[in-house]
């Protein structure tokens, strides 16, 4: 890689790594350390192919998703789950955006990696079903059924999210600072 390409890669990493890390954290169920490892591996692969990539961010996201798929297929899956209890609320009746993010991250961590990936791609990344199917290497029907089962399980595992949905969204459009999952009843 020549000096100009290295500088462009450095600028890409500086400008887009935080957004890519957010996606990786969601894909890893809130495990920031695993997400950082996955992002680092993805950026290494982007650097290796930097000169031949038209859209480096799309390529990096594709690598992140495929790494997550590879983790699903491990014969001995990791059983570690990072759990942190949020501090007590002040009792004002309203939850802050940070509390909602913690709640949502914890709820996503209780889903299977495949369910988490489908929800992240569909609602966080706002991809249509056909694109999610292409990224995950499955059919559109599989994406639809997995989305349906994932949302049902999320509602069952975290009923507190369903209670927040009408007050938190106020409309049919998802809010990125809370979660896209509460939009659908």
Q: Among candidates 75, 156, 77, 68, which has minimal Cα distance to 110?
A: 156
Instruction: Indicate yes or no: pTM above 0.95.
Output: no
Q: How far apart are CA 50 and CA 24, in angstroms?
A: 20
- Only one residue has tokens 């692969």, namely 45
* Predicted confidence pLDDT, tens digits, the chain (185 residues): 788 888 999 999 999 999 999 999 988 888 888 899 999 999 999 999 888 888 998 899 999 998 888 877 765 555 555 566 655 554 555 566 777 778 888 888 888 888 999 998 998 888 899 999 998 889 999 999 999 999 999 888 888 776 665 444 443 444 444 444 444 43
């Amino acid at each position: 890689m020549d000096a100009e390409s290295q500088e462009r890669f450095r600028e890409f990493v500086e400008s887009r790594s935080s957004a890519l890390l957010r996606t990786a954290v969601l894909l890893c169920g809130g495990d920031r350390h695993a997400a950082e490892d996955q992002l680092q591996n993805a950026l290494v692969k982007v650097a290796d192919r930097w000169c031949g990539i038209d859209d480096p961010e799309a390529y990096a996201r594709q690598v992140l998703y495929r790494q997550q798929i590879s983790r699903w297929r491990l014969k001995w899956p990791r059983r570690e789950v990072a759990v942190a209890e949020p501090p007590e609320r002040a009792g004002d009746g309203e939850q802050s955006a940070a509390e909602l993010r913690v709640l949502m991250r914890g709820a996503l961590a209780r889903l299977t990696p495949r369910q988490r990936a489908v929800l992240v791609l569909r609602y966080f990344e706002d991809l249509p079903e056909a694109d999610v199917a292409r990224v995950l290497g499955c059919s559109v029907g599989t994406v639809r059924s997995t989305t349906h089962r994932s949302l049902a399980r999320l509602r069952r595992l975290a009923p507190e999210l369903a209670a927040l949905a009408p007050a938190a969204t106020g409309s049919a459009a998802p809010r990125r600072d809370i979660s896209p999952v509460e939009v659908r009843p």
